[in-house]
Structure 1
Amino acid sequence: MDIVATITEELNIKRYQTENTIELLNNGNTVPFISRYRKEVTGNLDEEKIRQIEELFNYYKNLEEYKKTVLKSIEEQGKLTPNLKTKILETKKMTELEDLYLPYKKRKKTNADKAVEAGLEPASIKVLVGSLKDLEELQEFITKDYDTIEKVCEGISHIIGQTFAHDKDNRESLRKYYEKNGYVQSEKKKEFIDKPTKYDMYHEFKQEISKIYNYRVLALNRGEKEGVLTVKLVIDDQWLEDAKRRFKTENEICNKIIFDGIDYGFKNMLNPSIEREIRQNLTQRAEDDAIELFARNLRQLLLTPPLKNKKILAIDPGYRTGCKVVALDELGKFLEHNTIFPVPPENEIEKSEKIVLEMIKKHKINLIVIGNGTASRETQQFIVDLIKKNKLDLKYIFVDESGASVYSASKLAKEEFPNLDVTIRGAISLGRRVQDPLAELVKIDPKSLGVGQYQHDVNQKKLKEKLDATVVSVVNNVGVNLNTASYSLLQYVSGITNSVAKKIVKYREENGPFSERKELFNIKGLGEKTFEQAAGFLRILDGNNPLEMTGIHPESYEITERLITILGFKIEDLKDKETLELIKQKISEILNNKENLSALIKELDVGEYTLIDILKELQKPGRDPRDEMPQPQLMDDILKFEDLKEGMKLSGKITNITDFGAFVDIGIKENGLIHKSNLSEKFVRHPSEVLEINDIVEVEILSIEEERKRIGLKLIEVKK
């Protein structure tokens, strides 16, 4: 099989794009580096396409290796025909290869295998062609283990049944019949029928395989795993009846043995095998979809815009142990901590007010951050009253606590704050999540961030790989400040390992901030390849060369300097705001005029994609793509569940997206839910078609369930 041709056709790209991408990957280049700095080589393939090429190449490479194993095994058995060999070599699917290999695969000896060993195979052929006139003709096949005509007939049926079950065409036919006409069916086990469970909707449940939603597949799997549900696939008798008709002869004696064999093969081998395979396929599809949704949600969460230049008072609320309060400067440096008890059971309002006011004044705080967990709403009430009573020019914001406790007890947190209690570390993390969400959230296992669905039910290896790839993608897309980033953030930069990241931080601590990227060569273990992969994603905001604050790779500095000279400016002009505006204006003229762009490409002898990227970087040197995202909502008042009324219109922020809807933070403890049927007047297949995490939305309250504290919402507008 020509792997390159197969991938090229499957992804609908050009052959050179596949070949060059595979070569780049094989030479140790990372996906972010290839997609950003090798566009000419790949024909401007994006990250997703490059990762697809990587995955398919590995899949087909493994398939080809397995083919060798299969061919060798069948050949050793003396059963490899030219026709079978061709079929094996030409197959492009692992399932097809398994079907072809199944009759020859080493297995525990079956009833059919025993019958073959006893010499009943010639008799089975005689039955299949309908040439058996009388059962007495089977007398010659009687042996010690098959000592009656009845046992001989049974042995023949076993051979016919296994041959029928192992036939590639029969397997493919039944597979397609299930997919087109089959149903998923479930019911609660007897002991749970009269008990309320979270799987009640799946009692006496039946839905077409072709139409079942992925989240229902995962819910059924979980219910089955927990022992509450019995789940199976069902089809009508039509396929089996049609199969029997194909094998029917003019001889009723033979037909009886044949049909017994087909029933045996279908019930004991073929049907269980295909049912198991289809359930595995449904599960894999559902898991892949859940993992993809998790990754999309994670990407949006990591791209939450930072609230820059904010001196923060972060509060991690609590009842019995009190609220942990920390002050952080604009860069997230820890300044001071206290514990206050403004909520039940202590209700030390005055004392708490005094402590908080002193911290606000002492550290010139201009934003309060409140964790959204236990006692958060009582703490919110305390802060709102404090702001109003003292007429403070302050706003507050809620921050999701998901994963904060995981971080605070981690080895990394102990390294960062060895002398602080875990609860104080948690409060610091909450405050930093607002100042630079990406830098703080990368310290936490993505599975602990509260943006997934069924994350514990899916393939953990695939989930980890996908989420790690998402973190890497976002970190390199945003870029990393070389002089402020922790090693936990640096290790996600293209080409940089955990050990190299630690060496970078250590070098910075011992030698002061970096003034240019090439200083990285002073770090032991950081060679040419690592520098090539990483340099473009590392930013130095106050470096010797203004280009160091951009995403322009050092390999393109010379071209960039010539470009700026052609435009009539100097590199230093990038630091001057007024001159920068003139540069931006000239760049816009070039980007909007194909002739000017073509002339520059020729004069600089540079690729079109590379030049366009350089021009765009010069338009916004030091640009943070997160700044273009919807900004977080700051609050200065309070809303309670009791204040809500049907028909009320509110603003909120999307906090999580699932297969069935999107959750919205509307400023109270309970999140509201926009079911996907209330996202638009038109049909919406999936909420992610309309919304992303962090979107600011206007919603209308459709329903309020006071007992369960549930709020049903309708989407009015997405405020982009």
Structure 2
Amino acid sequence: MGQPVNEQALFVIEKELNIKGKQINQVISLLEEGNTVPFIARYRKELTGGLDEVQIKDIMDRWTYLQNLASRKEEVIRLIEEQGKLTEELAASINKAQKLQEIEDLYRPYKQKRRTKATVAKEKGLEPLALWLLEQRNENPLDAAKSYINEEKEVLSAEDALQGAKDIIAEMLSDDADMRKWIREDTFSKGEIKTEGKNTEADEKKVFEMYYEYQEPIRKIVPHRVLAANRGEKEDILKVGISAPSELIISKMDRKTVKRTDSQAVPYIREAIEDAYKRLIAPSIEREIRAALTEQAEERAIHIFSENVRSLLLQAPLKGKVVLGVDPAYRTGCKLGVVDETGKVLHIQTIYPTPPRSEVEKSAAVVKQLIDKYDIEIAAIGNGTASRETEQFIAETLKDLPKSVAYVIVNEAGASVYSASTVAREEFPDLQVEERSAVSIARRLQDPLAELVKIDPKSIGVGQYQHDVSQKRLGEEISFVVETAVNQVGVNVNTASSSLLQYVSGLSKTVAQNIITKRNEVGKFQNRKELKKIPRLGAKTYEQCIGFLRVMEGDQPLDQTGIHPESYPGTISLLKELGFSTKDIGTEALAEKLKTISLEDTSVKLDIGIPTLKDIMDGLTKPGRDPRDNFSGPVLKTDVLKMEDLSAGMELQGTVRNVVDFGAFVDIGVKQDGLVHISKLTDRFVKNPMDVVSVGQVVTVWVDSVDVNKQRIALTMIAPKKG
């Protein structure tokens, strides 16, 4: 950021994002002042017209791109001017460019090049001969070339001179910005991506089999196929290239370059045209198109991964339950971790119900004893190695109990990464790695957001090809998603981990740790004001973070809401106006009274903007509101289902584990997740599966087909027709 708002950039963003210029201007000004995206979205609605986090980030990203574009234009104009070759027409073309690629095309002829065939030919003094050929006179080029023979410069014959001239013409054509533009467009619109097997024996699982002999129009190829082909090429299993309409392009280059077909220079020009295209332009355009396709595909993969992570983080928490976490294993035994309603560890133990020891009865006795002692209401079983055998054991054990206890299969992706991390060691210094996993699995069920922020999101295992994309871009996008989710939910400052606090608007890792240190020293915070004493938490940071930090059961009731302290005076005035006080927050009487007020009149009277007034009323009505409570909770189970039990048409409840471009994978309680193809998500056309389903969502599915040998289950979300 850092540059003044210019009208042209504002106009471009306004047109692209369909957001008013005034809103864009306000967003940029707020960002320039050091405000965070979550803070602007939540507490500056009057200024932005209620734009959400995604819209604000889109403005920020486009503004940054356009600032970089403007900087590059200035730089290129300066570099060409220094060579004394800048014309008014060229400067106008550069200033008019809307993409970095267009600027680079225009700069190409003036860029300092490494020694090429053309630069060598120019050093030999052959540029005048090249320009003479392009004049296309009706004279014999061999005669004209004789005067350029120079043994000292290693031009030994007229043919040598003409070859050098052709090299110069080829580079001139290659550097023509307009020509490159239409060749790029023609290649994209009429060319094909072609893949073929190169080292297929290395592809033992036949992952890339469909690409051993494959071609598809460039303009039609979907992002996940681009990334699959790239991965196959990287692993040296595939050869990937672009098949362009070469004859059509060369013919078009000919029409644009050859002005007099009766000129004796034409055969030489045509040779230069063919050389320019095949040696210089085609390979370069292929690299550019593949880079553009990869960039688009990566952006799509990053978007899918980010949205899946968002859905995963915003899964409904299972509040107020004592949970038994089970980390399944064979030889090393299943680790059990009992946690209370707040996530505090009550008990750790190891049992051996699975092979090789198979101590089923002894293990069952331990589980029953723990359920009785700690009044456990639900078991959370990790879905890793030995999960199904452990599930079978837990299901059989729970059947023998006098009270009803259910279990849930929890996606434990990334749990082992967390368990071996510095964060986990600091949290549980006395526990073994697997014991920490059992606790993490239990806590994931209780509060997915609080537990998952401790893990590098890239280890969570949703999406496709996240390891093949730009890790920097992925990291930026994921950080934004996690920060948005954390701030939408809000954080209890007296129970939050450092991992959770560092995602709160405005807080750094250092300040987050300083909050924990202070909390450990003095005990629970009693109000938000006390956070002003935290080292390195200055006035600006306090403004940015404080509305997202909740102090539950403190001495200021407003501190448990999402109402920002800057709005406390207006909030107290509103309560007085209605005959209530802060002690009445969350009561039925206050909620009913708030329904009767006029938003417009109250807004004017108290000098509070309507969006902020609505948020204040919401905070007063539901002080501890958690937006995740609106989502479906986990599927509770009491019995095991095997793949062999499935049959076509069977109706089941399942949890969406992953959403990809071609559909969604659903956990229906058997060893293998089933695939709902994009065409089976609903009975209408679906362009993007995310429009229909999200990770963590509980859905009703019907079995389409089962292949036990290949371990494949096809599902549908379209209800079968009755009768």
Identical counterparts, % of pairs: 47
2:148 aligned to which of 131, 137, 141: 141
Amino acid at match of 1:440: E
1:240 aligned to which of 250, 256, 278: 250
CA distance in 2, matches of 1:391, 1:183: 66
Report the alpha carbon displacement of residue 621 of structure 1 after superposing the two structures with TM. Answer: 1.4
Is the partner of 2:718 in helix, strand or coil? strand
Is the partner of 1:217 in helix, strand or coil? helix
**How has the CA–CA distance of structure 1 residues 450 and 195 changed in structure 2, closer, same or farther, with 3 Å as cutoff?**
closer
CA distance in 1, matches of 2:210, 2:680: 21
Report the alpha carbon displacement of residue 194 of structure 1 after superposing the two structures with TM. Answer: 10
Amino acid at match of 2:423: L
Amino acid at match of 1:141: Y
Is the partner of 1:210 in helix, strand or coil? helix
Amino acid at match of 1:345: P
The answer to whether residue 327 in structure 2 is matched with residue 332 in structure 1 is no
Q: 1:222 is matched with which residue?
A: 231
Q: 1:587 is matched with which residue?
A: 594
Moved more, 39-48 or 404-413: 39-48
Q: 1:409 is matched with which residue?
A: 420
2:602 aligned to which of 592, 600, 603: 600
CA distance in 2, matches of 1:242, 1:508: 73
The answer to whether residue 80 in structure 2 is matched with residue 69 in structure 1 is no
Q: Deviations over 1:450-495 (max 9, x none)?
A: 1121011001100000001100000000000011101110010001
Q: 2:467 is matched with which residue?
A: 456
CA distance in 1, matches of 2:61, 2:204: 45
Q: 2:186 is matched with which residue?
A: 177
CA distance in 2, matches of 1:277, 1:535: 47
Report the alpha carbon displacement of residue 196 of structure 1 after superposing the two structures with TM. Answer: 6.5
Q: 2:275 is matched with which residue?
A: 264
Is the partner of 1:119 in helix, strand or coil? coil
Amino acid at match of 2:659: I
Report the alpha carbon displacement of residue 281 of structure 1 after superposing the two structures with TM. Answer: 0.5
The answer to whether residue 579 in structure 2 is matched with residue 568 in structure 1 is yes
CA distance in 2, matches of 1:114, 1:522: 70
Alignment of 1:27-176 (within 5 A): 27-134=33-140, 135-143=142-150, 144-176=153-185
Q: Deviations over 1:140-198 (max 9, x none)?
A: 22223222111111111111111111101101101111221111111101664997621
Structure 2 contact 353–363 (Cα < 8 Å) conserved: yes
Moved more, 169-178 or 55-64: 55-64
Amino acid at match of 2:709: E
Report the alpha carbon displacement of residue 683 of structure 1 after superposing the two structures with TM. Answer: 2.3
Q: 1:713 is matched with which residue?
A: 715
The answer to whether residue 449 in structure 2 is matched with residue 438 in structure 1 is yes
- The runs of at least 4 consecutive aligned structure 1 residues that moved more than 3 Å come to 190-196
Structure 2 contact 202–237 (Cα < 8 Å) conserved: no
CA distance in 2, matches of 1:545, 1:45: 30
Amino acid at match of 2:665: F
Alignment of 1:411-426 (within 5 A): 411-426=422-437
Structure 2 contact 203–237 (Cα < 8 Å) conserved: no
1:197 aligned to which of 203, 206, 214: 206
Q: Deviations over 1:495-554 (max 9, x none)?
A: 111111111111112112111101101212111111100010011121222211111100
Is the partner of 1:142 in helix, strand or coil? coil
Structure 1 contact 698–716 (Cα < 8 Å) conserved: no
Report the alpha carbon displacement of residue 86 of structure 1 after superposing the two structures with TM. Answer: 2.0
Alignment of 1:522-561 (within 5 A): 522-561=533-572
Is the partner of 2:402 in helix, strand or coil? coil
Structure 1 contact 126–132 (Cα < 8 Å) conserved: no
CA distance in 2, matches of 1:508, 1:194: 55
CA distance in 2, matches of 1:328, 1:467: 29
Amino acid at match of 2:442: G
Q: 1:593 is matched with which residue?
A: none
Q: 1:667 is matched with which residue?
A: 669
Structure 1 contact 697–717 (Cα < 8 Å) conserved: no
Q: Deviations over 1:68-99 (max 9, x none)?
A: 32122212222111221222223221001000
Report the alpha carbon displacement of residue 132 of structure 1 after superposing the two structures with TM. Answer: 4.6
Amino acid at match of 2:133: V
**How has the CA–CA distance of structure 1 residues 586 and 327 changed in structure 2, closer, same or farther, with 3 Å as cutoff?**
same
CA distance in 2, matches of 1:514, 1:193: 60
Moved more, 289-298 or 615-624: 615-624
Moved more, 204-213 or 240-249: 240-249
Scaled by the length of structure 1, the TM-score of the pair is: 0.96
Amino acid at match of 1:302: L
CA distance in 2, matches of 1:12, 1:683: 26
1:640 aligned to which of 639, 642, 649: 642
Q: 1:617 is matched with which residue?
A: 619
Amino acid at match of 2:194: Q
Is the partner of 2:463 in helix, strand or coil? coil
Scaled by the length of structure 2, the TM-score of the pair is: 0.96
**How has the CA–CA distance of structure 1 residues 46 and 191 changed in structure 2, closer, same or farther, with 3 Å as cutoff?**
closer
Amino acid at match of 1:327: V
Q: 2:353 is matched with which residue?
A: 342
Is the partner of 2:703 in helix, strand or coil? strand
Report the alpha carbon displacement of residue 246 of structure 1 after superposing the two structures with TM. Answer: 2.3
CA distance in 2, matches of 1:201, 1:302: 35
Q: 2:3 is matched with which residue?
A: none
CA distance in 2, matches of 1:568, 1:550: 20
The answer to whether residue 494 in structure 2 is matched with residue 488 in structure 1 is no
Is the partner of 2:174 in helix, strand or coil? helix
CA distance in 2, matches of 1:550, 1:193: 58
Is the partner of 1:141 in helix, strand or coil? coil
CA distance in 2, matches of 1:129, 1:174: 24
1:694 aligned to which of 693, 696, 702: 696
Moved more, 474-483 or 535-544: 535-544
Amino acid at match of 1:709: Q
CA distance in 1, matches of 2:667, 2:213: 35
Amino acid at match of 1:122: P
Moved more, 566-575 or 662-671: 566-575
Structure 2 contact 505–545 (Cα < 8 Å) conserved: yes
Report the alpha carbon displacement of residue 589 of structure 1 after superposing the two structures with TM. Answer: 3.9
Moved more, 551-560 or 684-693: 684-693
CA distance in 2, matches of 1:175, 1:506: 58
Is the partner of 2:487 in helix, strand or coil? helix
Report the alpha carbon displacement of residue 330 of structure 1 after superposing the two structures with TM. Answer: 0.9
The answer to whether residue 330 in structure 2 is matched with residue 319 in structure 1 is yes
**How has the CA–CA distance of structure 1 residues 191 and 331 changed in structure 2, closer, same or farther, with 3 Å as cutoff?**
closer
Structure 2 contact 648–704 (Cα < 8 Å) conserved: yes
Report the alpha carbon displacement of residue 618 of structure 1 after superposing the two structures with TM. Answer: 2.2
Is the partner of 1:368 in helix, strand or coil? strand
CA distance in 1, matches of 2:341, 2:268: 84
Q: Deviations over 1:382-407 (max 9, x none)?
A: 11111212333211111111011101
Pairs aligned (count): 709
**How has the CA–CA distance of structure 1 residues 492 and 196 changed in structure 2, closer, same or farther, with 3 Å as cutoff?**
closer
1:360 aligned to which of 346, 352, 371: 371
